[in-house]
Structure 1
């Protein structure tokens, strides 16, 4: 017997619109730059999933969903603006307890800009200073600055961090962070 079901397609790889995984827009700094709050909701992991509608027998079962694992929701803001003047923002969920560099590289977020070539950055050793990011929101989830960061960032703003030296949250952390990529080249100013 053939059963009809509902197919949910939530992969960010096939969308030209940035997808927001349960990211709330309460932050006035981010809301000011997001002129188009038409972002779609992304299920965790961005997977293609099929739901068998015949297996749902009552409305109460349909509303109860399994509890999602703890994760941090990131909004990565590109230093360049889109053609309409709004910032290019990419949303990604990630588990805590990892270095920000690893989260960004695993999520295909531009970290090094023109220093992407193998001999132009130290590959996460904390010696070159090319993985600079600005933490606009979510500083409470970050590890304290390391000695390498203190040395390299001594004349930079307190909100700037080296992604290769910064551990974000713990394995059970939940929250939201706004990360400005390549802050030395950003075209808009945070207030």
Structure 2
């Protein structure tokens, strides 16, 4: 008859005891020691299992970028070499275009930058006009104030203080001409230089 008992203590270290009873006609021998086979080992501090999962069972961890809207703001003044001066930015959707531009240090009011010369976002002075070159599908429809103030301007002109850029989970690209009334040149979307990593904030 053989009884073999394994126990785990609080440190997860296995301990065991065993009793072997051998009976014959003349004697009974109790053996209370047990010698582990060579291929079985226990450690007092921890048990380690070393192995490798097959490649097909491993899962790749992919970093997912949070939803952002990318912007290309084109200045009304060309660079010295005659190319468009473009400033690339990133921002979360659901915000007013005016706030995004001011927070990103993008020129918005031009000659009306002093507080007494603009309505600070009230939609009454029309001094925050921008021209939407690409990405108009990310913007809300024109408000009643825009319809009133911009009725003599092209339909892709907007008031930044009345323009909401997408939702919180929106992604996409907006190309905005700053100060369209003051621009002294024409350019095409394909002429914009690609952004560098340091250009985006």
Which category describes the TM-score, using the shorter chain as reference length? 0.5 to 0.7
Query: What are the equivalent positions in structure 2 for 1:29-44 lying under 5 Å apart?
Result: none
For residues 65 and 121 of structure 1, what CA distance do their matches in structure 2 show?
46
Relative to the length of structure 2, the TM-score reads 0.62
Name the counterpart of 2:70: 73
Name the counterpart of 1:91: 88
Point out the structure with max Rg over C-alpha: 2
Total equivalences in the alignment:
129
Change (3 A) 1:187 1:65: farther
For residues 116 and 66 of structure 1, what CA distance do their matches in structure 2 show?
41
For residues 167 and 137 of structure 2, what CA distance do their matches in structure 1 show?
11
For residues 189 and 126 of structure 1, what CA distance do their matches in structure 2 show?
27
CA RMSD of aligned residues (A): 1.3
SS for the counterpart of 1:81 is coil
Greater length-normalized contact order (CA 8 Å, ≥ 6 residues apart): 1
The partner residue of 1:182 within 160, 179, 182 is 179
Stretches of structure 2 lacking an aligned partner (at least 5 in a row): 1-59, 189-201
SS for the counterpart of 2:63 is coil
For residues 178 and 158 of structure 1, what CA distance do their matches in structure 2 show?
15
Name the counterpart of 2:123: 126
Name the counterpart of 2:101: 104
SS for the counterpart of 2:65 is coil
For residues 177 and 121 of structure 1, what CA distance do their matches in structure 2 show?
24
Stretches of structure 1 lacking an aligned partner (at least 5 in a row): 1-62
